[in-house]
A = this chain, B = another copy of it.
Amino acid sequence: MKYFAGIDLGGTFIKCGIADEAGNILIKDKIPTGKERPYTAVAHDMAQLVRALCTRAGVAHELLGAAGIGSPGTADGETGVIAYNNNLGWHNVPIGKAVGQELALPVFVANDANVAALGESFAGAGAAFSSSILITLGTGVGGGIVLDGRLFEGKRSAGSEIGHMVIRAGGVPCTCGRRGCFEAYASATALIRRTRSTMLRHPESAMWQISPTIEAVNGITAFDGMRRGDKTAKRVVRAYIDDLAEGVANLINIFRPDAIILGGGISAEGETLLSPLRKRVRGLVYGDFDYAPTQIVRAVLGNDAGLVGAAHYADLRSR
């Protein structure tokens, strides 16, 4: 049995887990990132954390096959260089090489949403499928694409930006500068924006009982309103699911994967979200849906997806 370290490099914390070849996390922990320091100091801490966890888990260093790092922003999978990381303020940082030298092991770097997709695919909601796409419905819309068990990243790992597929050209402005992106309609941020603007037009809505101020509106407000029988809230949820379905149907038409996996905050709604979404998507997919049906399911690994995925990425890449 070989073991692999999975590292999630965040702006606040560095999380690390030691996983076996099957994607089971033996042990995990986190330390502050200390992002204001030189990257070499951050790399040193990462390596120390990996070693400490191995010791605590009783994994001999020679059984550790490789380490994987999931980083926000663009990380070139071939070179291990983080081209750009907004959270850390990093540009062209060869973090893979730096950690690799400390650990005397191969270290591979990829985008954090991409490795989360690989984690869900390998040991989570997609474990029964060879091809799946993770869509995370959070502050933005992230995700990753797993084809035949391998992460698809595109040229210099710059692909897989599914949140920035336009579904309504010229529509709502997106943080990326374009208008009408999937993210601008399907993120939690977008749902909150819709909920707020609808509440302002509907002072009679029961959503005001759930969220007495406009500032307190969150991604659950409209779902909660719907559960109380509020028609206005129901319309907000339906419009959100309609737009989510457009993006999901696009990805099915392009990839026809075995599964679409929904993660992120909004996916916590479970079947309240998934059941109407499945019905809507069926009507939008090209040709005969049942000829090659795509399952639409909820992510199950939560925050561990990134650790499991980074470890498995290291496993695949080091073979």
Interface residues of A (CB under 8 A from B): 74, 83-84, 131, 145, 147, 152, 154-156, 158-162, 164-170, 176-178, 180, 242-243, 246, 249-250, 252-258, 283-284, 286-288, 291-292, 294
Contacts and interface: CB of A to CB of B under 8 A. Distances in A.
A21 B178 CA distance: 43
Given A165-B165, A246-B166, A84 B287 contact: yes
Contacts of A294: 155
B287 A161 contact: yes
7 contacts: A84-B287, A154-B257, A156-B292, A159-B257, A166-B246, A166-B249, A178-B284
Given A166-B249, A167-B169, A257 B287 contact: no
A166 B164 contact: no
Contact of A159 (B159, B167, B177, B254): B254
Contacts of A131: 154-155
Total copies of this chain within the assembly: 2
A243 B160 CA distance: 21
A81 to B, nearest CB: 11
Given A156-B292, A158-B291, A180-B246, 18 more contacts: A74-B287, A83-B291, A147-B152, A155-B294, A156-B256, A156-B291, A159-B255, A161-B254, A161-B256, A161-B287, A162-B254, A165-B165, A165-B253, A167-B168, A168-B169, A177-B283, A178-B249, A178-B286
A200 B258 CA distance: 47
A258 to B, nearest CB: 6
Contacts of A246: 166, 169, 180
A255 B166 contact: no
A292 to B, nearest CB: 4
A183 B166 CA distance: 14
B287 A255 contact: no
A84 B152 CA distance: 29
A164 to B, nearest CB: 4
A253 to B, nearest CB: 4
Contacts of A250: 165-166
